[in-house]
Amino acid sequence: ACLNESCAAGFSCHESGSTVLALASKQQLLLSGGRKGCISVLDLSLKIQRQSFQAHDSAVKALAIDASESCFISGSAEGNIKVWSMSTQSLLHTFSNEHARQSLFRNLGTGVMQIETGPANHVFSCGADGTMKLRLLPDTLSLYCSGAKNDVRFIM
């Protein structure tokens, strides 16, 4: 809700609060990740909430949008990274436990800390496990091919 006249629009989309935002400027969409694992897609030009969906089982800690704005990537407190279609919000790919920091007894970390996209479908992520990883996302067509490989290219 807007508290004063200078507020252009206000959205209430996460019961427990938002943890991360990402802007798809060409499409005028704002993505918001919540503490309970939901992602909301807000249309800034129409000032409406387009979609809200359960993306993860824990807090969404990181969001990134590819340069073409055809997909977005989310990272969670449990350490999973997921790739989503921007137009349909359907799940395209999951990288399970990418940044899960485990001990013998319990999870010690907070999972994925940051995700950035780069040219040529490069995705960089860092996490509470102390690593930074570079992945090369397959192109849109190969996401649906069973033989598509997506190995970590670099770990630091």
- 52 with 33: CB under 8 angstroms? no
* Residue 124, pLDDT above cutoff 50: yes
All structural domains of the chain with their residue ranges: 58-155
Identify the sign of the CA torsion 44, 48, 54, 57: positive
Edge-to-edge strands, sheet with 91-95: 60-65, 71-76, 81-85, 91-95
pLDDT tens-place string over residues 66-86:
999 999 999 999 999 999 999
CA dihedral defined by 62, 126, 24, 74, rounded to 10 degrees? Answer: -50
Question: pLDDT confidence of 108, banded at 50, 70, 90?
Answer: low
User: What is the pTM assigned to this prediction?
Assistant: 0.80
pLDDT tens-place string over residues 27-76:
999 999 999 999 999 999 999 899 999 999 999 999 999 999 999 999 99
